[in-house]
Amino acid sequence: MEDMKYVNKDLETMSLDKVKELQLEKLRKMVKFAYENNEVYKEAFDKKGVKTETLDSLDDLAKFPILTKEHLVKHFPYGFLSMPKNQIKKIYMSGGTTGKPIAIFYSAADNNEIIDVASRIYPAAGVLPPDENNKGDVLYHLLPMGSHIVNCFMDAASTLGIPVIPAHFSYNEPEKHLEVIKDFGVTALNIAPVGKKGSNLQGLLEVDEERIIDNNIKTILYAGAPMPIDMMKDLMKKGKTVLGVYGGTEIGGIGIQSKYCSGIPPGTFHVWGDRTLVEIVDDDGKPLKPGQRGYMIVTALGGDEFAGRATPIIRYRTGDEVTLMEGPECGCGRTPLYVSKPKRIEDFSRMDKSCAGEF
């Protein structure tokens, strides 16, 4: 592992200009692939009169239609599948609770790419494989299994050589988790901050805060929801490293916080710019500038020629409001491209009327 802080130092620390160059190159390839291999994209792009040649710069992406969760529902199950079925290794389905499922498909290349990107989380957090003297981390993974992204998050730790314990599916009692943490000398957690079941951090803290504080746990990696600010401050005051991982089922990883970050505001995430392109738009779908707050639109650029192709995700509205920031430089050395203070938005009625619905 390079430098113990990065998995791929060149990609993680690229200059902003270089990242944008790479983004445009990958974007053009992805748009071409989607147009040539998926009828839903082809129709939507034709309706707007856009294609690969439209993309002279990243700003031109604003001419393309915005994809929403409703579109994924509308074309369920195979509408966004863009490869022959014999190339597909995994299918992730979600949305069952609302009765409106979506499907995301993964090829072997997609799978490897997600694991590769997810592995960046651990060195950034100072979570490292044990050495020959058993100095290093043991990870307890309490995030709910079933989401492909979450599974990859766990597999990424194994790939780096970090021993990981997946929480047993029947363990909904915080007490059981506290026993595992003690028995195995767990030093790092992947966990949701809050939630209904007993597998979230709040649940564990309510049962026995002392046992979370006075044990070997050094690092808490949370995902799935923002962490309540008081909870975070309290844990940090007691010496724990608390870091968020930001991503989504449909689009994969968006970004991370690193233990080594300094000089950037709290609640800010580095964007993995080499594989994720983030735009922000207003109520009318019009692009906003870095520094402004708006709805987040994400394009998954893929890792290489083959990744991110089974279900191309181009200009997807994640449902979050964020501030996109370019700069300042960060003490961790990663690309100074950030999203800050994500907040879930429920009502898109105005935007839906003005600019969604082309798919």
Per CB under 5 A, residues contacting Zn ion are: 258, 261, 330, 332, 334
CA pair distance 5, 8, nearest whole angstrom: 9
CB of 263 to Zn ion, least distance (A): 8
Nearer to Zn ion, 84 or 327 (CB): 327
**Number of CB atoms found within 10 A of residue 134's CB:** 8
Q: What is the CA radius of gyration of the chain?
A: 20
Nearer to Zn ion, 152 or 261 (CB): 261
**Number of CB atoms found within 10 A of residue 21's CB:** 13
Nearer to Zn ion, 311 or 335 (CB): 335
**Residue 326 has which token pair?**
């370019």
Nearer to Zn ion, 317 or 334 (CB): 334
What sign for the dihedral angle of Cα 190, 307, 69, 105? negative
Nearer to Zn ion, 102 or 117 (CB): 117
Pairing between strand 316-326 and 337-344? antiparallel
Nearer to Zn ion, 24 or 127 (CB): 127
Among 158, 87, 91, CA closest to 118 = 158
CB of 6 to Zn ion, least distance (A): 11
Nearer to Zn ion, 254 or 330 (CB): 330
Pairing between strand 88-94 and 102-107? antiparallel
- Give strand pairing partners of 164: 139
Nearer to Zn ion, 79 or 255 (CB): 255
**Residue 102 has which token pair?**
């979506």
CB within 8 Å of 247: residues ≥ 6 apart? 149, 223, 253, 254, 255
Among 277, 261, 279, CA closest to 320 = 279
CB of 330 to Zn ion, least distance (A): 3
For the chain, give me the number of helices (H) and strands (E)? 11, 13
SS (H, E, C) 262-327: CCCCCCEEEECCCCEEEEEECCCCCECCCCCEEEEEEEECCCCCCCCCCCCCCCEEEEEEEEEEEC
